[in-house]
Structure 1
Amino acid sequence: MLSIAHTVSPSIIALLIFGCYSGAYGTSIKFLDVPHIVRNGTGPINLICIYEIDKDDNGLVIKWFHGENQIYQWIPPMPPQDIGIIKDLAEYPVENLRNPNSHSVIRLKTVTIDMTGEYVCTISTFQYEASASAKMIVYVPESDMTVRTYPFNKTHVNLTCAVTGARPQPSLKLYVEGVERNDRGSNYESSEFSTDWYKDDYEVSLDAIIEDMPDPAVVECEMSIPNTEYKRRERIVYYPTQLLPYRTNVSQGRHNAMLFIDIFYVTVLRLILT
């Protein structure tokens, strides 16, 4: 007599168990669609919560939260209500309002930096409750980015990269001829990262003090906004102080300039008189 052995993989067993388990609940969230990265001032974008309501459930209430703060409530058949950071910036597609038992759509006309954070969609009935969350990052590009070099002492030079206006707080790296110079693996004396949050358009800067270089070199700064793909590089050519022509200080330079003007006028006057 022949016998046939059936082998069931653990993944199939897990799916069967999950199907039975989820079927025990009449209300569940199937999908939450929140854009992960959005540029400040752009739009419109959609926040979408897709859910399933059992035919026997009643008393449906849909809520959205930004962090711990409620920003939306919908109790069909009444229209949705928006508060907080999305107040007066949200609109609701008509087709969504006609199908309250399947999905909730918040269409944000304009995205602002305050909208960065975690979004939670919750649905509840008299019988069950379910929730799901997703994070959105709203970033602001820099308004200015500069790279500067200046002597620190007779043997070292200071490299500075300053970025203004970028949010969330950007990460900065300094490179000399393609080699990063503000990490522990480089030949540096010290590096410092600072942020000035008290300005209207705040500034983040990175300073690295390294040994002076004998030859001209390309100095680059790379700015990136964490958890996004936004990056920018700014570069300058550094010329060692020994290769630059001799310069007098400011006061001496002004004296020489005035002396040159006096000589010029005396020469012109002599030409007129002759």
Structure 2
Amino acid sequence: MDHRTGSFGYVGMLLFSLFAVLPVVKSLEILDIEGPGVVVNGSTSQIVLDCDYDITEFDKPGLVVKWYFNRQPFPVYQWIPSKVPQDLGILKGRLNLNYEVSEDQFSKHRALAIVNPTTDLTGEYTCLISSFESEAYKRKNLIIYAPAEDLSMTYSKPREDNVIITCRAGGIFPAPNIAIFRSSSSSKEFIESAKVESQLHPEYGYYNISIEIEVSDYELDSETMFECVLTIPGTEYRVQEKILYFPGHLTTPTPEEVEPEDVEELLEEMENIENDQSLEEEGDGGNSRPHTAESVSSAERVLSSLSFLSVLASLHLLFLH
């Protein structure tokens, strides 16, 4: 056997034996970032994002905990176990620096305790821990959303044979999604051609959004339900509004065609409508908002007929004179 080969084999076995008995040093590890992912604006006075990690004795002397917002290069929070925590950047003055997640001196201030969280703190949070030996990081998304302050759905008829359906929402954050569906007795259809407009008001921190479609009456069934659906991505927030549309044009009779019994029927119809509305308000307990409109509704027929009554009254006075 070659002397050099034998020497190398002996040294190799010695090194293998040495590494086999040395302890394996475990590096820093972040187990999880615990805390809510979705919060309603104004619903809580404090939220906590806890960066739960494992460290070894080798890591403790040089341990530093930092938090970053939306991957910006400068931290918004820093804690070194031998010093007091620091709030920085967008979180300056917005953290509870006395919050302790545990009594352990190397983990008690690892968490972010955000006081009175608002929508501007929606974003991605990164926890980074480092020591003289290694470092580790983990990210978490937080959405602080504001529900829509209002949602309304209306229609108008620019011509006799078509209709414009409009849905509007305001005071919502972050940027929402909005869609319109139409349904009949046989089907429900998502309308892809709808026109959507969204506007951010940075001075107030919310969005206004609207959606609009124009449809010809001949494309619709005798009764068509339009539904507006508003959602916020990343959350379970969802609200909808509906409007019932009857295609057609309201014809107007001339004064000569109005008989006395027709006037009596109109007055009875007005009284019935008021009674029905009173019953609906009592049944809803005053909490429901208007959600249905008709292009040829009883209310519209009465409003249109009021002009006829005015004409009749004028004619009656004319004959008296």
TM-score by length of 2: 0.63
Q: Amino acid of the residue matched to residue 182 of structure 1?
A: I
* Structure-1 residue corresponding to 2:69: 66
Which residue of the other structure, out of 78, 81, 85, is the alignment partner of 2:86?
81
CA shift, 1:150, in A, is 1.4
More strand by share: 1
- Count the aligned residue pairs: 234
> Is the Cα contact below 8 Å between 2:174 and 2:207 reproduced in 1?
no
CA–CA separation in structure 2 for the residues paired with 1:129 and 1:141:
39
Mapping of residues 76-225 of structure 1, within 5 Å: 76-92=81-97, 95-96=100-101, 98-102=103-107, 104-177=110-183, 179-183=188-192, 190-197=193-200, 202-212=207-217, 213=220, 215-225=222-232
More helix by share: 2
Q: Amino acid of the residue matched to residue 55 of structure 2?
A: I
> Percent identity, aligned pairs only?
30
**Structure whose CA Rg is larger:** 2
TM-score by length of 1: 0.73
CA–CA separation in structure 1 for the residues paired with 2:221 and 2:135:
69
Q: Deviations over 1:101-153 (max 9, x none)?
A: 24612222211111111111111112221111111112110011111111243
Q: Amino acid of the residue matched to residue 52 of structure 1?
A: D
Which residue of the other structure, out of 47, 60, 67, is the alignment partner of 1:45?
47
Report the aligned-residue RMSD: 3.2
Which residue of the other structure, out of 217, 235, 241, is the alignment partner of 1:234?
241
* Structure possessing the higher relative contact order (Cα contacts under 8 Å, 6 or more residues apart): 1
Greater Cα shift, 90-99 or 202-211 = 90-99
CA shift, 1:95, in A, is 4.2
* Structure-1 residue corresponding to 2:5: none
CA shift, 1:228, in A, is 0.9
Residue 182 to residue 214, structure 1, CA distance change in 2 (3 Å)? closer
Q: Amino acid of the residue matched to residue 200 of structure 2?
A: W
* Structure-1 residue corresponding to 2:15: none
**Helix, strand or coil: the match of 1:118?**
strand
* Structure-1 residue corresponding to 2:33: 32
5+ long unaligned stretches in structure 2: 1-23, 254-303
CA–CA separation in structure 1 for the residues paired with 2:99 and 2:121:
24
CA shift, 1:56, in A, is 2.4
> Is the Cα contact below 8 Å between 1:89 and 1:109 reproduced in 2?
yes
